[in-house]
Amino acid sequence: MDKFVFLFLACILAGFALIKLPLAGSPLASIEPITFFIGILTILVFSLVLIFKGIMALAGK
């Protein structure tokens, strides 16, 4: 098993945490759209990497 798989899963969970981050009512409320976008981007990128690694493992490479 690849040693980075759990790191990729942790990055996907961190992306979900960024999406659900409650910033309303705090001084950081203005950057909430940025954290939402970074969370979505993180989830997409690392999910695609995991899918690619799964396909490569099935192909035997």
Q: Write the DSSP symbol of residue 11.
A: H
Contact 19, 41 (CB under 8 A): no
Tokens of 48: 């695609």
Tokens of 42: 């993180």
Listed in sequence order, the residues at least 6 apart from 21 whose beta carbon sits closer than 8 Å to its beta carbon are 32, 35, 39
SS3 4: coil
61 residues of the chain, pLDDT tens digit each: 678 899 999 999 999 999 999 988 889 899 999 999 999 999 999 999 999 999 998 998 6
Tokens of 11: 């990055």
Q: What is the reported pLDDT for 1?
A: 61
